[in-house]
Amino acid sequence: MNNVRVTVGGLMSVDGKIAPADRVGTKFFRFMTRRHLRMLHTIRSKVDAIVVGVDTVIADNPSLTVRAVKGKNPLRVVLDSNARTPLESKILGREASTIIAVTKHAPHRRVELLRRKVEVLRLGGSKRVDLKKLLGELKKRGIRSVLVEGGGEARWGFFKEGLVDELFVWVVPCIWGGRDAPTLVDGEGFLQDADAIPLRLKSTKVVDKTLILSYRVNRNHV
């Protein structure tokens, strides 16, 4: 039994979008206050690793470090099936350790270029990284808590596999609209109402006009 605690979190608009139709999530930054930033970096400082999908890295080029408060930088993990992480990405910087998780189908040349900068793990032979194997590898490294910070496809993967323990959502007071805009949880989604993952509300609060929701997730549902 994998006992790595997984928290999924993210910002979204009132209509559930994590970015406008151009998929640039950094446009949310204008809604974030210094207090929000301190809260986010405090959350980061309390987990052992942060996981994001490669599309988030390509679109937003995040550092995923702790800067607004005093605290440790967590291990950064990128779900990158085909080794598409740009070599100039901030996430490859030396401020914190990084693992790029790829599949066996990832191009050898790209993998070797990334390995010159960070650790690369081949996990899974299908189109997607095997998330259970990933958590197993992280556990071997002493990782006990993981924050899945983005994006919609990465969040869906963890929910689909029944790996999520907690969810927090920051609802920003705006509407993006757009049928092609990414949502908090994307992927193929469940088709039957019986498959929908039930949540138990832990807490609610409003911080600088942003609604903060926290939920517990039943892993055994999936």
Give the model confidence (pLDDT) of 38-48 as tens digits.
999 999 999 99
Q: How many CA atoms lie within 13 A of 142 on its CB side?
A: 2
What's the token pair of residue 160?
């689909």
pLDDT at 23 (0 to 100): 84
Query: How many CB atoms neighbour CB 152 within 10 A?
Result: 25
Q: Is the pLDDT of residue 98 over 60?
A: yes
Pick from 2-6, 12-16, 47-51: least confident = 2-6
Q: Is the pLDDT of residue 125 over 80?
A: no
pLDDT at 174 (0 to 100): 94
* 6/190 Cα distance (integer angstroms): 20
Instruction: Name the residue with tokens 């809604």.
Output: 31
**Which is nearest to 165 in space by CA: 200, 194, 193, 213?**
200
Q: Any residues with CB less than 8 A from the CB of 179 and at least 6 apart, and which?
A: none
**Which is nearest to 127 in space by CA: 191, 80, 163, 159?**
80
Q: Is the pLDDT of residue 2 over 80?
A: no
pTM for the full predicted model: 0.94
5-221: CATH class? alpha beta
Q: Any residues with CB less than 8 A from the CB of 96 and at least 6 apart, and which?
A: 64, 65, 73, 74, 75, 76
Contact yes or no for 151/55 (Cβ under 8 A): yes
pLDDT at 169 (0 to 100): 98
